[in-house]
């Protein structure tokens, strides 16, 4: 955008395009790390859920949180903390495929959406990320090198339930919480093989059935258990 503004020969159309590109960049990227911001992350997550529902290809969501990050800020200062966030962001990007999306979820928390990630690879990928961060040596000032670790929680998008992004994130967050409470610098994945349907998900299911969506009629078992308390988990089959 800056170059478009600086060049007096730039046509009005190019100038406008520059502004639009700049605004898109601002609205989708985290300014500190250059990663996708939460807005873009949510869009990517929604797309991944659609693909999983249509193709059945498993998609993995990893939620990562830097361990004891407050200590980094308190000991070395906020700019050093920012530097750590930037280094971790770069390392995360180098660990995944171009088709995967690394996002800054907020503060010292990151998220990675991995479409088409076979369930047998999930732990391997997450451990590789954990090890890569542990191996980082971050120079925050001349002669001062620090290292950090991350805790990681992951969950696969349910394959036939058109789940919501919020519920998917919640399941990964439960695993992240486990990783934190079990000692940090570790990975926990939701290996739930059976499909559980919350009351909220069930209302989505019924919604589609009443609209007569044939894809849903094909996939839904003939007997669905009745919903009890709101938010209670129900097993289907
Ligand atoms: N430097 C910097 N710090 C940030 C930023 N966003 C959030 N933080 C800091 O991140 C820290 C998060 O601390 P806590 O939530 O206590 O978590 P923690 O110290 O990592 O501890 P655990 O997560 O339990 O391992 C706080 O000190 C925030 O100020 C940022 O953009 N830059």
Q: What is the pLDDT of residues 199-215, one digit of tens each?
A: 566 566 555 554 544 44
Kindly indicate the confidence band of residue 183, based on its pLDDT and cuts at 50, 70 and 90. very high
| Residue 223: band (very low, low, confident or very high) from pLDDT cuts 50, 70, 90 | very low
Going from the C-alpha of 232 to that of each of 141, 190, 229, the distances in angstroms are 51, 18, 5
Q: How far is the CA of 108 from the centre of ligand 1 (A)?
A: 5
CA dihedral sign, ordered 77, 91, 168, 121? negative
Cβ(67) to ligand 1 under 6 A?
yes
Catalytically annotated residue among 14, 57, 108, 218: 108
**Highest mean pLDDT (candidates 53-62, 84-93, 115-124):** 84-93
Neighbours of 180 (CB within 10 A): 16
Residue 108 has a CB neighbour count (10 Å cut-off) of 21
Q: What is the pLDDT of residues 63-103, one digit of tens each?
A: 999 999 999 999 999 999 999 999 999 999 999 999 999 99
5-37 tens-digit pLDDT = 556 567 888 888 887 777 777 789 999 999 999
Highest mean pLDDT among 45-54, 61-70, 214-223: 61-70
CA of 76 to the centre of ligand 1 (A): 13
**Residue keyed to tokens 């988990």:** 233
For strands 144-146 and 101-106, give the pairing: unpaired
Evaluate whether 41 touches 101 at the Cβ level (below 8 Å).
yes
Determine the pLDDT at residue 8: 57
Index of the ligand 1 atom closest to the CA of residue 71? 19
Give the ipTM of the model, two decimals please: 0.97
Question: Which sequence spans correspond to the domains of the chain?
Answer: 20-192, 194-237
* pTM of the predicted model over 0.80: no
Q: Does domain 20-192 have CATH number 3.30.70.270?
A: yes
Please indicate whether residue 108, judged by its CB atom, sits closer than 6 Å to ligand 1: yes
* 108 tagged catalytic: yes
């Amino acid at each position: 955008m800056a170059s478009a503004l600086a060049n007096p020969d730039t046509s009005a159309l190019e100038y406008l395009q520059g502004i639009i590109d700049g605004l898109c960049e601002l609205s989708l990227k985290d300014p500190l790390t250059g990663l996708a911001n939460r807005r873009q992350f949510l869009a990517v997550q929604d797309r991944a859920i659609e693909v999983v529902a249509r193709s059945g290809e498993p998609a993995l969501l990893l939620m990562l949180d830097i361990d004891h990050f407050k200590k980094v800020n308190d000991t070395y200062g906020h700019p050093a903390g920012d530097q750590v966030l930037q280094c971790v962001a770069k390392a995360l990007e180098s660990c995944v495929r171009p088709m995967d999306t690394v996002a800054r979820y907020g503060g010292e928390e990151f998220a990675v959406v991995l479409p088409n990630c076979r369930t047998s690879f999930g732990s391997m990928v997450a451990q590789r990320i954990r090890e890569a961060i542990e191996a980082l040596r971050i120079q925050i000032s001349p002669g001062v090198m620090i290292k950090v670790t991350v805790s990681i929680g992951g969950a696969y998008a349910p394959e036939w339930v058109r789940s919501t992004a919020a519920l998917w994130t919640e399941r990964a967050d439960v695993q992240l919480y486990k990783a934190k409470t079990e000692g940090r610098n570790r990975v926990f994945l939701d290996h739930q093989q059976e499909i559980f349907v919350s009351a909220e998900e069930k209302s989505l299911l019924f919604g589609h059935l009443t609209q007569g969506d044939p894809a849903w009629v094909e996939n839904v078992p003939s007997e669905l258990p009745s919903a009890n308390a709101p938010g209670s988990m129900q097993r289907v089959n």
